[in-house]
């Protein structure tokens, strides 16, 4: 692991790091904010997964999480959204596929399968690195994200309920296998058999028996992607009759941008802190 940058912020340390990934077969970059409390004791880990076209840097520069994360004692881990490098396949004219659009899945189809193993990277390889190099309490982990990252957070939580104690999302893609916004990417990554897509679809996972105690979702009503790609009410319908609790908040005038995310970031940090034993 190499250090790209380290900067003191709110008495904690915001770092950016890179390493050679076995899962993605390329160099991967990620950001970690370590609060001051980690000097003396291991602290809970909160994973933030970014959306389409993003890298680790978007939330780090625009998400406004460090002040409260420092106060609450939360380690914030911000991975990249896809493998990177000249050897990594891409679709240069398609922002919904390839670099910046890994969808947090393990691809099975050529040419994507060799590098696009983001589910394994996020759930196995990177956690191992975090536990080795940071004073992290891996028994207390939460996960959240935005858009494609909200999809990733929800599906990862549903498939790993014993690992994560909390999950929330900003404007998530809750049913990517049926949305025009995401279905073409799933077909390219996973093949034409739609049954394989269900492992990476929050609504389908619930239908197939996956469970997680509760979710918080914030969604802007002025989001231009609301009707075509996001549709959080579909997840609300999917959990009916289950023991899954959902707090779905629809906000007038808010769009899909980091202005929206930064507005409600404190609410999400407090949501996770309460469930991770920090409040």
Superfamily of domain 2-276: Alpha/Beta hydrolase fold, catalytic domain (3.40.50.1820)
Report how far residue 80's alpha carbon sits from residue 41's, in angstroms, rounded to the nearest whole number. Answer: 27
Supply 81's token pair. 């959204």
Report how far residue 120's alpha carbon sits from residue 55's, in angstroms, rounded to the nearest whole number. Answer: 18
Res. 241: pLDDT tops 90: yes
Question: First CA to last CA across the chain, in angstroms?
Answer: 32
Smallest Cα–Cα separation from 50: which of 141, 135, 120, 153? 153
- In this prediction the pTM is 0.97
- Residues tagged active-site: 147, 223, 256
Q: What is the pLDDT of residues 73-99, one digit of tens each?
A: 999 999 999 999 999 999 999 999 999
Task: Give the neighbor-by-neighbor strand order of the sheet with 136-146.
Answer: 2-9, 12-21, 26-34, 75-79, 43-49, 136-146, 164-170, 214-220, 245-251
Q: So where are the chain's domains?
A: 2-276
Q: What is the pLDDT of residues 35-68, one digit of tens each?
A: 999 999 999 999 999 999 999 999 999 999 999 9
- In degrees, rounded to 5, the angle at the alpha carbon of residue 12 between the alpha carbons of residues 10 and 16 is 115
Report how far residue 208's alpha carbon sits from residue 279's, in angstroms, rounded to the nearest whole number. Answer: 34
Report how far residue 79's alpha carbon sits from residue 23's, in angstroms, rounded to the nearest whole number. Answer: 14
pLDDT for position 196 = 97
- Measured CA distances, 247 to 4, 73, 90, 176 (Å): 38, 24, 36, 20
Supply 53's token pair. 């076209």
* Residues above pLDDT 70, as percent of the chain: 100
Res. 181: pLDDT tops 90: no
Going by their DSSP bridges, the two strands 26-34 and 12-21 should be labelled as: antiparallel
């Amino acid at each position: 692991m190499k250090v790209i940058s380290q900067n003191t912020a709110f008495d904690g340390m915001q770092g950016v790091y890179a390493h050679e990934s076995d899962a993605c077969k390329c160099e991967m970059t990620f950001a970690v904010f370590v609060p001051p409390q980690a000097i003396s004791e291991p602290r809970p880990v909160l994973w933030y997964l970014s959306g389409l076209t993003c890298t680790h840097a978007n939330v780090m520069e625009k998400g406004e999480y460090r002040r409260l994360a420092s106060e609450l004692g939360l380690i914030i881990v911000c991975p990249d959204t896809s493998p990177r490098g000249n050897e990594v396949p891409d679709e240069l004219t398609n922002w919904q596929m390839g670099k910046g659009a890994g969808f947090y899945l393990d691809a099975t189809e050529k040419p994507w399968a060799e590098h696009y193993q983001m589910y394994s990277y996020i759930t196995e390889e990177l956690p191992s690195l975090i536990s080795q190099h940071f004073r992290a309490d891996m028994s207390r982990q939460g996960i959240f994200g935005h858009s494609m990252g909200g999809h990733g957070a929800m599906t990862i939580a549903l498939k790993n309920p014993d690992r994560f104690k909390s999950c929330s999302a900003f404007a998530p893609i809750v049913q990517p296998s049926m949305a025009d916004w995401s279905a073409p990417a799933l077909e390219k990554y996973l093949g034409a058999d739609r049954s394989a897509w269900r492992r990476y679809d929050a609504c389908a996972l619930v239908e197939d028996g996956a469970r997680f105690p509760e979710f918080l979702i914030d969604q802007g009503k002025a989001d231009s992607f609301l009707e075509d790609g996001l549709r959080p009410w579909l997840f609300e319908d999917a959990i009916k009759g289950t023991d899954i609790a959902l707090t779905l908040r629809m906000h007038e005038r808010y769009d899909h941008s980091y202005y929206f995310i930064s507005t409600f970031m404190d609410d999400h940090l407090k949501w996770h802190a309460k469930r991770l034993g920090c409040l």
